[in-house]
Amino acid sequence: MTAADLLHPEIETLDPAALRRLQETRFAAQWAYLGSSSALYRERLGAALAAPMDLDRIAALPLTEKETIRLTQERRPPYGEHVACAETEIVRLHRTSGMTGRALVMAQTAADAATTAAVGARAMRSAGLRPDDRVVHCLNYCLWTGGVTDHLILEAAGATVIPFGVGNTRELIAAIRELGANAISCTPSYPALLEKLLAEEGGIAPRDLGLTLALFGGEPGLDNPSFRQRLEAVWGFRVRNANYGLSEVLSILGSQCETTEDLHFHAGDAVFAELLDPATGERLPIRAGTVGELVATHLGKRCQPLLRYRTRDILTVTGDGRCGCGRSAWRFRVTGRTDDMFNVRGVNVFPTAVRAVIAGLETLSTGHFRIALAGPGPYDRIELTVEAAAGSAESGWADAARTIETAIRRQIGAAARVRMVAAETLPRTAGKTNWIERSPSR
Ligand SMILES: [Zn+2]
């Protein structure tokens, strides 16, 4: 790997001190812009906006919640009171699906769109996309950021992009073959859908489609090594987590590189990242081992700038210092959501961590489970219902339960009580499964 493989080596190889100087310079201008142009932050911060500010001292400023953005968009539709530019400057708007609450409208100026494309393209290049790749883009183009915005990101990475969207899988298979696509951009669950269709049609093995690179995003699952290995074995493509982002902040903030399976934070010149202790809200140093909620501050956003925006994503920092790929950006995994976090005798537990433990015990379980939480907590232990492996003898379940309890205590640091049930007992839901079942206090 040489610097020539990096899309923006002048940014991507900056040492932390130089990056911080660049961030401070950009933030000073952004702070002045908020003062002159953002009704939301003028109302929230008042006279404080008139005084100089820096990125250390913003730690004392209030956080911006997603709910605040929702409310300002209700009061001043469609963009909200945090819109800071004139209508004439806005070139594109997206709307979220609103699956977890009221939909949000995200809009961009031409300069915002250029930044989004540049940072995203950096991420795609890092994940392995090159100008001689022909990539078919299979995310939803209807309203959602993942469609046209990520399409433009793929173009900005220099690749040839085939716009496809979702649905029409039969046509997609024909298009991949006839147009010679060698890369696919989609959700991690999409290949399974294609496999099913190929099996029904008969004759074509997934490998025969000739895809060599898969750029995934939009859903969890890729941190499970057996899931990745199976996809690579069946399809013959390299699996890359290429697309971590939040449409309120930046469509793509993070992706893997070719030397680690963790994600690089690629957006240091556009977004200032803080990691906050989920229990105390204190800012934590970004270094290997830190676990905290990502809080994002735009450094140059014109349309809907955000200051200290709570993403509710919990990141675990896995690396700082220079990576083997030459990039200096820190590495991380997304290990939970603050919404799902619960406390067991002083330990913050995330369902994703429980899922990871159970997924690692494939001989004992199907991987499906539920966590029962009675009342608001904190709790004495994790009450778990786990599906036993298909075909396993019921006489072995007690031992399996003890093994899982021990693994949870060792890997998460919390006590658990496990009850095994037969495979296929727990309801399967479309889309994201809810692992937690809450009930009022007993
Ligand atoms: Zn790297």
Q: Hey, what are 332's tokens?
A: 């991380």
Among all chains, which residue has been given the structure tokens 């989004």? 116
The residue among 189 and 185 whose pLDDT is bigger is: 185
pLDDT in tens, 8-19: 999 999 999 999
Cα of 215 to ligand 1 centre, how many Å? Answer: 16
Residues 6+ apart with CB under 8 A from 353: 335, 336, 411, 412
330 C-alpha vs ligand 1 centroid, how far in Å? Answer: 9
Ligand 1 centre to CA of 9 (Å) is 13
Q: Compute the distance from residue 42 Cα to the ligand 1 centre, in Å.
A: 39
Average pLDDT, the chain: 92
What token pair was written down for 327? 């990039």
The yes-or-no verdict on residue 251 having pLDDT over 80 is yes
Ligand 1 centre to CA of 259 (Å) is 6
Ligand 1 center to residue 144 CA distance, Å?
29
Predicted pLDDT of residue 323 = 96
pLDDT at 99: 62
Q: What is the pTM of this model?
A: 0.86
Query: pLDDT band at 4, cuts 50/70/90?
Result: low
Place of tokens 């009675």: 374
Return d(Cα 397, Cα 425) in angstroms, integer.
15
Mean pLDDT of 62-77: 93
Structural tokens at position 379 = 């709790």
- Alpha carbon distance 81, 437 (integer Å): 36
CA of 264 to the centre of ligand 1 (A): 7
Distance 416 CA to ligand 1 centre (A): 36
Tokens 């953005």, residue located: 69
Do residues 400 and 362 lie in contact, with contact meaning Cβ atoms separated by under 8 Å?
Answer: no
Percent of all residues in the chain with a pLDDT value above 70, rounded to a whole number: 96
pLDDT at position 294, please?
98
pLDDT tens track for 191-230: 999 999 999 988 789 999 999 999 998 666 777 788 899 9
Cα of 89 to ligand 1 centre, how many Å? Answer: 36
Could you tell me the distance, in angstroms and rounded to a whole number, from the CA of residue 324 to the centre of ligand 1? 6
Cβ pair 254, 244 in contact under 8 A: yes
405 is written with which tokens? Answer: 């309890």
pLDDT at 378: 84
Cα-to-centroid distance, 322 and ligand 1 (Å): 8
Rg (CA), the chain: 23
**Ligand 1: distance of its center to the CA of 327 in Å?**
6
CA–centroid distance, 361 to ligand 1, in Å, is 29
- Per residue in 256-288, pLDDT tens? 999 998 999 999 999 999 999 988 899 999 999
Compute the distance from residue 323 Cα to the ligand 1 centre, in Å.
5
Here the tokens at position 42 are: 């003028």
Distance 261 CA to ligand 1 centre (A): 9
Strands (E), 247-308: 250-255, 263-265, 271-276, 283-284, 291-298
Among residues 138, 68, 113, 139, the alpha carbon closest in space to that of 251 is found at 113
pLDDT in tens, 376-417: 888 999 999 999 999 999 999 999 999 999 999 999 899 999
Per the CB < 8 A criterion, the answer to whether 148 and 30 are in contact is no
In DSSP terms, 343 is beta-bridged to: 348
User: What pLDDT, in 10s, does the model give residues 316-348?
Assistant: 999 999 999 999 999 999 988 887 888 898 888
Q: Count helices and strands (H / E) in the chain.
A: 11, 20
Question: pLDDT tens digits for 72-130?
Answer: 999 999 999 999 999 999 999 999 876 656 789 999 999 999 999 999 999 999 999 99
| DSSP string for residues in 192-238 | HHHHHHHHHH-S--GGGG---EEEEESSS-TT-HHHHHHHHHHH-SE
Task: Give me ligand 1 centre to Cα 68, in Å.
Answer: 35
For ligand 1, the distance from its centroid to the CA atom of residue 219, given in whole angstroms, is 22
User: How many Å lie between the centroid of ligand 1 and the Cα of residue 314?
Assistant: 21
Residues 6+ apart with CB under 8 A from 392: 364, 400, 423
The CA 310 to ligand 1 mean position distance, Å, reads 26
Q: What is the pLDDT of residues 17-57, one digit of tens each?
A: 999 999 999 999 999 999 999 999 999 999 999 999 999 99
Supply the pLDDT for residue 430: 47
Closest CA to 231 of 216, 246, 243: 216
Q: Say if residues 359 and 224 touch (Cβ distance below 8 Å).
A: yes
pLDDT at 1: 47
Structural domains in the chain, CATH included, are 1-337 (3.40.50.12780), 342-439 (3.30.300.30)
Secondary structure (3-state) at 148: helix
Ligand 1 centroid, distance to 64 Cα (angstroms): 31
**140 alpha carbon to ligand 1 midpoint, in Å?**
29
- Band (pLDDT 50/70/90 cuts) for residue 431 is very low
Distance CA 206, CA 231 (A): 10
